[in-house]
Structure 1
Amino acid sequence: MTELLTRVLDAHGGMDRWNGYQKVGATIVTGGGFFALKGVLQDPNPRRMTVWLHEERSSVTPYGAPDQRTMFTPDRIAIEKLDGTLVAERHAPRDSFAGHQMNTPWDPLHRAYFNGEALWTYLTTPFLLAMEGVRVEETEPWREGEETWRVLRGYFPGSIETHNLVQDFFFGEDLMLRRHDYSVNIAGGFAAAQLTSDHATADGIRLPTRRRAYPRGPDRRPILELLMVSIDISAVQFE
């Protein structure tokens, strides 16, 4: 573990506290132009997201109907009733994105998979950088206005389903997450820069509650005129 990662984890609540929890629940409201490109109707209503912290597993309720939820793991995505009755499922779900581009239409299971892996990544950041199999190095700092942000590059093993295998995480002078860069491999690999802000503390863990993802230009800066995904997070509770 690098010196910077150790300091970042401490600033976000510390590994001891993190390891004392098993999962986190949060209310999310999502939007942005990306979903329209996929032919998906975006629901502006709040939903409840549950993420397991020490295994890659997540669920969102409701999904598609008031009495339905998703269940995501790397090898399976499912939509089920709240009593567990199966509505639809897909094994090896990443394979179903083969050949997809930015505007390739999605079905409900595609969207459920994206939601599951993306929100699992976001709600476990930055602690997922300390997970087994993840390699981290500090890269050159980033100048943002009057601030200098330090950057950690994470190299993820193939066993973790996330946007892509190499991602950059930017931390401000207070060591809070300010930005997250990645490529969306399941949508043609477009480069994204996600800006994070409005940090809050829930059960001793610090996390951003506002996320805005934009295409990343050749100068590595977000193209702010093109909001792809917005996520507002509230009512966070660790268990």
Structure 2
Amino acid sequence: MNDLLQQVLKAHGGLDRWNQFSSVTAQLSTGGGLWALKGLIQDAAPRQMTVSTQEEFASVTPFGQPDWRTSFRPGRVAIETLDGTVVRERDNPRASLDGHTMNTAWDPLHRAYFNGYAMWTYLTTPFFVAMPGFEVSEIDPIEEGGEQWRGLRARFPDHIASHSREQDFYFGEDFLLRRHDYHVDIAGSFPAAQYVDRIVEAQGIRLPTRRRAYVRGPDGKPVRDLLMVAIDLQDFRFT
């Protein structure tokens, strides 16, 4: 484990503390332009998001109906009732998104898959990179707002679903997350730059409560007029 990664993990609460938990739940509200591009109506009402901390699993409630929720794992996504009855399901959900562009419409299971892997990635950053199979290296820093942010590049193993196989994470002088760059492979591989701030501490773990993802231009800078996803989080609870 390189020195920067050690400092980053410590700043966010420490791997020992993280490994005491099996899940984290948060209330989230989402917006942004991606949903309209996908032919979806975005409801800003708060939802409850739960992800596992030690394996890739996620669920959001409600989803579509007041008594429905999602169940996401990399190889299967489902919409089910609160008592576990399956409403719709799809095995190998990544394959159903092959050939999609930024404007290709999504069905509810496409959305559930995206929501599942994206929120699992966000709510477990940076600790997931310490899981087996991840390759992490330090990359060149970037300049933002008069500050220099050091960077880590994570290469994801094949069994973990996420935006893209390689993703870059940038950290301030306090070693807390500031920016997350990736390509959205399931939507034409468009490049994104996601900014995070308003970090809070919950049960010893530090997490951002605001995320804003923009299309990333050829110069690496965000296109501020193209806000794709906005996420606001609160009420983090670890178990």
TM-score in terms of structure 2 length: 0.99
Partner of 1:219: 219
Q: Which residue of 1 aligns with 2:191?
A: 191
Counterpart CA distance in 2 for 1:99 and 1:18 is: 37
Task: Give SS of 2:222's match.
Answer: coil
Partner of 1:235: 235
Which residue pairs with 1:157 in the alignment? Answer: 157
Is 1:75 the counterpart of 2:75? The answer is: yes
Measured after TM superposition, the shift of residue 226 of structure 1 is 1.0
**How do 1:3-14 and structure 2 match up within 5 A?**
3-14=3-14
Deviation at 1:117, TM superposition (A): 0.3
Q: Distance in 1 between matches of 2:190 and 2:47?
A: 27
Moved more, 138-147 or 193-202: 138-147
CA distance in 2, matches of 1:144, 1:115: 28
Cα deviation 1:12-34 (Å, max 9, x = unaligned): 00011000000000000000000
TM-superposition CA deviations, 1:112-133 (whole Å, max 9, x none): 0000000000000000111110
Percent identity of equivalent pairs? 60
Deviation at 1:89, TM superposition (A): 0.1
Q: Using structure 1 for the length normalisation, give the TM-score.
A: 0.99
Indicate the SS of the match to 1:174: coil
Q: Within the alignment, does 1:206 sit opposite 2:209 as a pair?
A: no
Partner-residue secondary structure (3-state), 1:21:
coil
Measure the CA separation in 2 of the matches of 1:168 and 1:207: 17
Q: CA deviation at 1:218?
A: 0.7
Kindly state the Cα deviation for residue 39 of structure 1 after the two structures are TM-superposed: 0.1
Q: Deviations for 1:23-60, whole angstroms, at most 9, x for unmatched residues?
A: 00000000000000000110110000000011100000
> Which secondary structure does the structure 2 equivalent of 1:213 belong to?
strand
- CA shift, 1:145, in A, is 2.2
- Residues 61-210 of structure 1 mapped to structure 2, 5 A cutoff: 61-210=61-210
Q: Secondary structure at the match of 2:48?
A: strand
Counterpart residue type for residue 59 of structure 1: S
Deviations 1:74-120 (A, max 9, x none): 00000000011110000000000011000000000000000000000
1:15 aligns with 2:15: yes
Runs of 4+ in 1 over 3 A off after TM superposition: none
- Offset from partner CA, 1:165-203 (integer Å, 9 cap, x none): 000000001111000000000000000000000000001
Query: Secondary structure of the residue that 1:100 maps to in structure 2?
Result: coil
Aligned length: 239
Partner SS, residue 59 of structure 1: strand
Segments of structure 2 that go 5 or more residues without pairing to the other structure are: none
Question: Which residue is 1:49 aligned to?
Answer: 49
